[in-house]
Structure 1
Amino acid sequence: MLVAEALTVGHRPDRPIVRDVDLRVAPGEIIGVTGESGSGKTTLARTLAGLLTPTAGRVTVDGKSPRQARGEIAMVFQSPRTATNPQFTLAQIIAEPARIRRTPTPDLTALAGTVGLTPDLLTRRPHALSDGQLQRACLARALAQNPRYLILDEPTAMLDAATTATIIHLVASRAAQHTGVLLISHDTPLLEVACTRIATVHAGTLTPHEVSPR
């Protein structure tokens, strides 16, 4: 289970961005998080992924620290332009985790097809791709890691309705294979359809919704 306990994060102790948050994501669950821009959603996501160090509290991944569990959490960032190397081809972007870990290269054509990208796009670089295509490549890169937990920060913000439906179906399929998912979105109706539970971040604090959508 991915667990945050009394989690507080911030550059200044007197002005935390995230404060005293408790959150649990079990394998097979899709947990939705919504809230206004600047409320602390992305900071929470980055801390759960082990990219930021808490000021107080802790994060554990199946009882281990995020550092010990490296590779078990994959994150899709809100801005694909800043999350990819502009010199890499699409194929290199998707295969990057395998290269870093020196593991076998996954079937890139199959991964691209899974997220709705055609094989001819694999040789292109980010400048020749739309934001939506690049975001789908980032999702393929995350899935290539076969993570136990998947953190998605506004993954469908740059996608049309049809592609959004495809991606959410794919995320649900991963959850059915016992991947725990944290899905951050401003689209509350989307979260109500896709998620097991939903919580709202406001001024850095997390409040569960009273009604579970499923």
Structure 2
Amino acid sequence: MPPAVLTADAITAGYDRRHPVLTDFSLTVHPGRTVGLAGPSGSGKSTLARVLALLHRPFAGVVRLDGVPVTGYRHRAPRATRTRIGVLFQQPRLSVDPRLTLRAAIAEPLRANGRPVDAVEELADLVMLTPELLLRRPHEVSDGQLQRACLARALALRPDYLLCDEMTTMLDASTTAALVGVIRDYQRRTGAGVLAVSHDAVLLDRWADDVVTVGSPAAG
């Protein structure tokens, strides 16, 4: 059987072919481990996360899931492939429909994939959201509370890989620690691999098993 890994192999990507933000970069996320991805603003960290999340097609290179090359991105990727990768973005207010309650936001991937939505309460409890908070809409909660809901949504389909793109930028230290703790517990229970993108070297030093810097030799 092919190895159970998520791999970016010689990825060149960006939004202008003449000036890619990431060139010939490789990285591997192993099950049960956290890879930290560091680098300055504009170095391509978030672009790589979007490529691995199958949200952005690279100019060159290949994404492999368990050794199998990915051939489609966004809605062209098979649902069975997309749902194995969860994503947590930097700005929760840009990630959630402002018309939805937190309960509805967490239930979105479950409904979209024909799964029972009765798991919402368990997911909310996992990220320490109270039943009362589930009834509120994004403008009625803090950034930290909304990011907790986004984490619950990202874990709803029990992904094999979780990509965290600067997820703590807008959070205080206590909320950051709580969310990292939830992710670690999820890894212990499921064996999921995690990519943690951050400019915070102290956070990555405490959180990640290995840290790769964009522009440095690739990680295997």
* TM-score using structure 1 length: 0.91
Match of 2:48 in 1: 44
Tell me, yes or no, if structure 1 residue 99 matches structure 2 residue 111.
Answer: yes
> 1:78: Cα distance to partner?
0.8
Seen in structure 2, the aligned counterparts of structure 1 residues 17 and 106 have a Cα distance that, compared at 3 Å, is farther
Deviations 1:123-155, CA, capped at 9 Å, x for gaps? 111111111111111001001110000000112
User: How far did 1:158 drift?
Assistant: 2.3
The reply to whether residue 85 of structure 1 matches residue 89 of structure 2 is: no
What CA deviation, in whole Å up to 9, does each residue of 1:180-212 have, x standing for no partner? Answer: 0001112211111111100112xxx35469xxx
Which position in structure 2 is the counterpart of 1:54? 58
Is there any run of 5+ residues in structure 1 with no aligned partner, and where? 210-214
- Residue matched to 1:184: 197
**Is contact 2:127-2:152 (8 Å) kept?**
yes
Segment of structure 1 superposing worse, 89-98 or 174-183 = 174-183
Q: CA deviation at 1:113?
A: 2.0
Higher helix share: 2
Identity score, percent: 47
Structure 2: where are the runs of 5+ without partners? none
Structure 1 residue 13, shift from structure 2 partner = 2.3
Q: How many corresponding residue pairs? A: 206
The answer (yes or no) to whether the contact 2:90–2:170 under 8 Å persists in 1 is: no
Tell me whether 9-18 or 116-125 shows the greater mean CA deviation.
9-18
Which of 158, 173, 177 is the aligned partner of 1:161?
173
CA RMSD across the alignment:
1.6
1:157-194 CA-to-partner distances (Å, cap 9, x unmatched) read 22222222121122112222310000111221111111
Kept in 1: contact 2:91–2:170 (CA 8 A): no
Contact 1:106 1:144 (8 Å CA) reproduced: no
Query: Could you tell me how far apart the structure 2 residues matched to 1:106 and 1:28 are?
Result: 27
* Contact 2:180–2:207 under 8 Å retained in 1: yes
Residue 136 in structure 1 maps to residue 148 in structure 2: yes
**For residues 181 and 33 of structure 2, what CA distance do their matches in structure 1 show?**
14
| Cα distance in 1 between the residues matched to 2:216 and 2:6 | 16
Amino acid at match of 2:9: E
Counterpart position of 2:211: 198
CA distance in 1 between counterparts of 2:63 and 2:207 reads 25
Paired residue type of 1:92: A
Off by >3 Å, runs of 4+ in structure 1: 205-209
Preserved contact between residue 77 and residue 83 of structure 1 (Cα < 8 Å): yes
